[in-house]
Amino acid sequence: MNNTLINAKNLSKIYGKENSAQVVAVNEVSMEIRRGEFVAIMGASGSGKSTLMNILGCLDKPTRGALFLDGSEVSKMDDEQLAKIRNQKIGFVFQSFNLLARTSALENVELPLIYSDKQDITKLAKEALQAVGLSDRLDHHPSELSGGQQQRVAVARALVNDPEIIFADEPTGNLDTRSSLEIIALFAELYKMGRTIVLVTHEPDIAAHTRRIIKIADGKIIADEENRLHGTWQK
């Protein structure tokens, strides 16, 4: 079985029209991510981490280059096909949680499923919330949950459609140290259960929990190495 999940070839993202001031947010990036990896993308603010992650996650389209996910070329797909890919194969976790206000944790987690063909969406959502340890908070609204708990709801929402890969853009950026550790521990646990996770962060403490660290600067990969603390990243 082919173990390569993501294969990026010379991806570039250029903002701004030709002849005007252009920003090359992602510059000729090529990389592979295999199933079951736990990857951190690190870099200074403005280095292009989010842009890269959004392209890898099929949220955004590259200006140039090709992207393969699970063997199919997503860089050639139209919006509707991309929506389906996001719905079935990808889970997102954002820095600012992005939960729907005045909506219960359970309903927030059900959100990706209402756009899928899946049955028993409430049951699946409950299981996902159980996986993040929030079985006792199903009916709570985001405003009734701590930051750490809100982010765990968001992780449950990213998990609920059983995706091939989870992308998290600075998931601990809005959290205090303790909650940050809880969240990163949660990701580590999911990794151990076989999930593929790509995590954007600029905090070394957080990146330290992953198995592979890709460093980018000015839209280019400047380093891509195994996290020594944790031994081999190719399980």
Partner 1 sequence: MAKLLRMKKIAYTGLGRNKLRTFLMMIGVVIGITALTLIISAGIGAQDRVMDRVKKFGLESMMVFAGGGREMGQPVSGGPVTTLTLRDAETIKREVRAVDEVAPFNRKGNSEIKYLGKSTTAAVFGITPSWAYVWDWDVRSGDFISEDDMDNLNRVCLIGPTVRKELFGNENPIGQQIRIGNVQFEIKGVMQPKGTSPGGGDMDNRVNIPLTTFMRRVANVDYIFGIKILLNSSGEMQQTAENISAILRERHTIAAGIPDDFRIVTPDEVTQFAEKVAGTFNIFFSLVAGIALIAGGVVVANIMLISVNERRREIGLRKAMGARSKDIKLQFLFEATAVTLAGGIIGIVLGGIGAQILKMITGMPVSISWEGIALGVVSSSLVGIIAGMQPASRAAKLQPVESLRS
Ligand X SMILES: Nc1ncnc2c1ncn2[C@@H]1O[C@H](COP(=O)(O)OP(=O)(O)O)[C@@H](O)[C@H]1O
Strands 90-93 and 38-42: unpaired
Nearer to Mg ion, 50 or 149 (CB): 50
Between CA 214 and CA 212 the distance in angstroms is 7
Residue type, 227: N
Nearer to partner 1, 103 or 234 (CB): 103
Q: List the end-to-end C-alpha distance of the chain, in Å, as a whole number.
A: 15
Q: Classify burial at 165, counting beta carbons within 10 Å of its beta carbon; exposed 0-12, middle 13-18, buried 19 or more.
A: buried
Residues interacting with ligand X, by CB under 6 A? 15, 23, 25, 43, 45-51
Min separation Cβ 162 and partner 1, Å: 13
Nearer to Mg ion, 50 or 151 (CB): 50
103 binds, among partner 1, ligand X, Mg ion, none (CB under 5 to 8 A by kind): partner 1
Min separation Cβ 15 and ligand X, Å: 3
Nearer to ligand X, 25 or 190 (CB): 25
DSSP assignment of 132-160: TT-GGGTT--GGGS-HHHHHHHHHHHHHT
Min separation Cβ 218 and Mg ion, Å: 14
Nearer to partner 1, 151 or 227 (CB): 151
The torsion of the CA quartet 69, 52, 217, 172, rounded to 10 degrees, works out to -110
98 binds, among partner 1, ligand X, Mg ion, none (CB under 5 to 8 A by kind): partner 1
Closest among 145, 130, 11, 124 to 67, alpha carbons compared: 11
107 binds, among Mg ion, partner 1, ligand X, none (CB under 5 to 8 A by kind): partner 1
87 binds, among partner 1, Mg ion, ligand X, none (CB under 5 to 8 A by kind): partner 1
Cβ atoms of 91 and 158 within 8 Å: the answer is yes
45 binds, among partner 1, ligand X, Mg ion, none (CB under 5 to 8 A by kind): ligand X
Closest among 94, 15, 9, 16 to 56, alpha carbons compared: 9
Residues interacting with partner 1, by CB under 8 A? 54, 57, 59-60, 79-80, 83-84, 86-88, 92, 94, 98, 100, 102-103, 107, 110-112, 114-116, 119, 121, 157, 161
Min separation Cβ 194 and ligand X, Å: 28
Nearer to ligand X, 40 or 156 (CB): 40
Q: Looking at the DSSP assignment, which residues form a beta bridge with residue 76?
A: none
